[in-house]
């Protein structure tokens, strides 16, 4: 007789002994994303407060801050054991959150505090999420990644659903400093979940890996991630994929900020609107991640996860060029973000299961932070230049459609390369 636990494992495509790892990984993402998405509406509110016309400066500041963080993270990753990289990094971020909570309590309307927090959260977002996925790509095999990364990403989506709801409900009674303190507590919970996940892997080692390597540092220099990307066509293709993803996202993000700032003038109301959009996105992503992402990847390959959303975005941009109304824009934004969380992000992380341990941490971090924020900054200035040349949103939407087509083509090539690398590793 099939028990409920066995039935659940079959539904989620889990194998015997994987339940503790799936639970720990899901909790890691749940607490990380709950804290981040609870603060994301706060960031958007602070970005709007500085003026929509100045957003490109915040994007540039974020890129510069990301560049400054690269050698620091690279130095630390080269010298501490792999299992200690996440706790040390997250511990530093917890201290940052508590410091910002104190500053916002003392200077609630300070423009420079708001700008600094906007930039910090934008860097924290990419680095913390990238590092969490690095740990998973390091601990799970390629075959496990195809089956389980979608389920683990569902933990992120549940957190992304709870975070905006908590932020919307608690921003009035707790204020922004209270939300930051609560986010620090949740981030500490992510550290504990990562420790449980590492213990599971230690007790269940992969036959293709040397356990002795777990206790050693990665070595190399702080900039080896950047040089690996430049000299490796596969990693360079992932970098191009991320640049195109960031460019499409930035074009939509600028339009979102402009429309919301024109429609809602109250800062608390803006935070609630941004939170509501986040909640809808996460709710739509969960079902796909739990029951479809893994099966699609296992049966059709990673390629389908990397191509479906870019093609949908190309169609969405064309529709917006013909009818640039708010309701349609919200639909396109929700489809883009929900599809990214349910399909693109798990597929993108599966690409790193076939690279070396050093590339999983250093090259991946470089791509997910510096390359992504560089794409943000460049596309932000391009979008601003288009706005200054005239009020022609159709032109920006047509350019967005072209970028989305290039994005899909890059994803198609990467999916094929990942499959070939996986076959080579199995021989």
The pair phi, psi for residue 355, each rounded to 5°, is -115, 175
Strand partners, 217: 81
As a whole number of angstroms, the distance between CA 151 and CA 290 comes to 5
pLDDT for residue 283 is more than 90? no
Chain centre distance of CA 132 = 10
305 located within any domain:
yes
- Work out the mean pLDDT of the chain and round it to a whole number: 80
Confidence of residue 184 (pLDDT cuts 50, 70, 90): very high
Does residue 1 sit within a domain?
no
pTM equals 0.75
Q: Residue 40 pLDDT > 70, yes or no?
A: yes
Average pLDDT over residues 241-255: 82
Most confident of 73-77, 92-96, 281-285: 92-96
For residue 10, tell me if it sits in a domain.
Answer: no
Alpha carbon separation from 134 to 85, 139, 149 (Å, rounded): 10, 9, 12
| Long-range Cβ pairs for the range 395-398 (8 Å, 24+) | 396/251, 396/255, 397/251, 397/317, 397/318, 397/320, 397/321, 397/324, 398/317, 398/318, 398/321
User: Does residue 5 form part of some domain?
Assistant: no
pLDDT tens readout for residues 220-244: 666 778 888 899 999 999 999 998 9
Residue 390 three-state SS: coil
- Supply the CATH number for residue 407's domain: 1.20.1250.20
Residue 337 within a domain = yes
In a domain, 348, yes or no: yes
Structural domain range at position 23: 17-426
For residue 76, name the pLDDT band (cuts at 50, 70, 90).
confident
The pLDDT of 114-118, averaged and rounded, is 80
Q: Is the pLDDT of residue 216 over 70?
A: no
Lowest mean pLDDT among 42-51, 134-143, 370-379: 42-51
Domain count, the chain: 1
Is position 3 within any domain?
no
Rounded to whole angstroms, the Cα distance separating 202 from 77 reads 20
């Amino acid at each position: 007789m099939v028990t409920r636990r066995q039935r659940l494992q079959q539904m989620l495509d889990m194998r015997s002994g994987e339940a503790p790892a799936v639970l720990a990984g899901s909790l890691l993402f749940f607490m990380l994303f709950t804290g981040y998405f609870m603060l994301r509406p706060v960031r958007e509110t602070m970005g709007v407060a500085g003026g929509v016309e100045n957003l490109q400066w915040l994007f540039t500041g974020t890129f510069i801050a990301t560049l400054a963080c690269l050698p620091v993270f690279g130095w630390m990753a080269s010298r501490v054991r792999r299992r200690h990289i996440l706790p040390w990094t997250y511990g530093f971020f917890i201290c940052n959150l508590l410091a910002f909570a104190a500053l916002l309590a003392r200077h609630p309307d300070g423009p420079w505090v708001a700008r600094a927090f906007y930039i910090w959260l934008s860097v924290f977002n990419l680095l913390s999420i990238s590092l969490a996925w690095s740990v998973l790509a390091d601990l799970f095999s390629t075959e496990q990644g195809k089956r389980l990364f979608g389920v683990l990403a569902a933990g992120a989506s549940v957190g992304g659903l709870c975070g905006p709801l908590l932020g919307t409900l608690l921003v009035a009674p707790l204020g922004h400093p209270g939300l930051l303190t609560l986010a620090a507590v949740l981030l500490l919970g992510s550290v504990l979940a990562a420790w449980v996940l590492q213990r599971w892997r230690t007790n269940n080692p992969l036959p293709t890996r040397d356990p002795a390597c777990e206790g050693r540092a990665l070595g190399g220099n702080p900039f080896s991630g950047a040089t690996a990307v430049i000299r490796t066509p596969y990693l360079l293709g992932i970098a191009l994929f991320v640049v195109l993803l960031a460019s499409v996202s930035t074009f939509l993000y600028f339009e979102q900020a402009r429309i919301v700032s024109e429609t809602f003038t109250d800062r608390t109301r803006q935070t609630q609107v941004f939170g509501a959009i986040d909640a809808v996105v996460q709710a739509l992503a969960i079902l796909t991640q739990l029951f479809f992402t893994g099966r699609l990847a296992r049966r059709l390959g990673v390629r389908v996860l990397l191509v479906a959303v870019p093609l949908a975005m190309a169609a969405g941009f064309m529709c917006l060029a013909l009818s640039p109304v708010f309701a349609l824009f919200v639909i396109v934004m929700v489809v883009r973000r929900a599809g990214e969380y349910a399909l693109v992000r798990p597929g993108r992380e599966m690409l790193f299961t076939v690279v070396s341990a050093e590339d999983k941490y250093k090259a991946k971090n470089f791509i997910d932070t510096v390359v992504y924020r560089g794409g943000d900054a460049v596309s932000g200035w391009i979008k601003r230049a288009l706005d200054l040349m005239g009020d022609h949103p159709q032109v920006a939407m047509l350019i967005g459609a072209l970028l989305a087509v290039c994005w899909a083509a890059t994803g198609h090539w990467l999916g094929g390369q990942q499959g070939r690398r996986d076959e080579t590793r199995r021989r």
